[in-house]
A and B are shown apart, each in its own frame.
Chain A
Amino acid sequence: MINLFYKISTLKKYMTKTAKIIIGVVVIVLIAWLGYFYKKQATQMGNTEPIKIGSIFALTGLGASQGEQELKGVQLAVKEINEAGGISGRQIELISEDVSLDKLNVAGSVAHKLVDIDKVMAIVGTTWDEPAQAILPIIEAAKVPMVGQNQTRALKKDNPFNYFFSTWYDNEVGVRELLSYAQKMRLKKVVIVRPIGAGFYQYVSDKISSNAKEFGVEIIEDINLNNPTVNDFRTDLAKIKIKKPDAVIIVLNGFTGCPFLKQAGEIIGNVPVLSTEGSGDYYALSQCSKSMENLYFSYPKETSEYASFVERYDKAFGASPSTPSVMTAYDALKIIAKSLESTNGEGGEKLQKVLAQTKSYKGVSLNDISFDELGFVATPLDAFEMRTVKDGKFVKIR
């Protein structure tokens, strides 16, 4: 009894005024906002309330350079729809959240917040596979459809989830386009360099290895890089040099592209570097175009909508869309909006059914977006083309 009394009085002593204030403020903020949202749910009736759509991209930390751009694609779509009157007369309210590989443990919290508190109708996201994989059970249980803008086929195989769709291309098609170029240019002996760190690189690199033989490409050396933030490739390039390959294949993106290409230029000279669509990054082009002249990459063909999209994007953001997932993110939101039109703003199972039946949607990323039974985009075998860089511009290789 005396112990208890003693404990309370010492506890009071510990908690100085400032500590109490800080803790108090945080708790109050949390309660206040939760209360605010509860109230908002309670009074939300009637059709002039905004339609909420969530987005989850990597906005800080690992992958932020990509997620930042993907968010822009979605923002443009939202702006255009709202300016045209919204969905069934209701404006879209975009709730944007941040999940990146270096803080993967908030993926669940973010998903729960969007579906339980904000009560979004649908979500666009995530940047790369991992956060999506962690979120799938949550959206499935809450019956909130999510459309991914750059998820690989590795995602659903283990767990068929019905509420997840993706507008991202089948990477294998791009890989095969790349390899058929190698075949055409008689690049027989090739070294593959595997960046490591996100499942995406692993998946695409595996596709390259498994498809290579069919195109007469022999992988003479398989080099694994070591961590996602590495940008010193020199010794790996020195190893490549002594093998004297016809070409180097590596899955690059806007972040690793410039350092690798610059160092490749220094160490292995004119050996061509082959890569996939992530390397055709407009932002990287503005930073190191000269080094990119040795780069040959497969990229989705321009659709009929593309030119006008670029104009609108440029008007909104003063730049070209840097990477293909900007376009797929834009299409993802537009498809969600279109489906919401047909369900008259209703979400859940009804929305899922309409989304699943998306066929022949004219997108910016593909001329014909149709979801297959797993919810992925059916990618035509000739959807990609080869490009390189000349005089600071991307040019198609004939």
Chain B
Amino acid sequence: MTSRLVEKLRDPQYRKAFVASQINIGIPFQIRAILRNRPEWTQETLAERAGMLQPRISGLMKPGKTHPNIETLRRLAEAFDCGLLVRFAPFSELARWSEDFDPESFTVPDFEHDPGFIDRKPLGSAVELGARLFPRSEQPSLAAAQDGSNLSNLVVMDRRKQALAEQPSQLLMSCAGALR
């Protein structure tokens, strides 16, 4: 955090206004950055998905033009298919976030492209599960399992024990059935 910002935040009036500026000025930069990373989206696309009119979206993208409330932000998050964090935080954290925010690299993936979920998508079949848990280079261990090892042995054998353990139990059952 810059020493100048620290100095400014010592003023209670500045602190009070600083929070509002993060919303009124900061949100338009975030919306613009998200749209930049979704080139197929127009303001009309976002308006339609958020259940708003295009001029309202245009206003939300102009710094300070509108003062979006939580419901508006929630609808935008729903349209972007992403989450929305609203929580109380110390000023140091808010100031650091503001200073670290980069309008050119900021992006928020939708659920389909969320890296935290890509590896946890449900699989359609036991074959797909096996292919994912055991890439081609590791398939001998799968072959060994098909030669009579039960699923518990397979789990112990493989380095991907943890990944396997995280799969839904019904898929494991399905996999075990296919291997028998």
Question: Is the A/B pair a real complex?
Answer: no
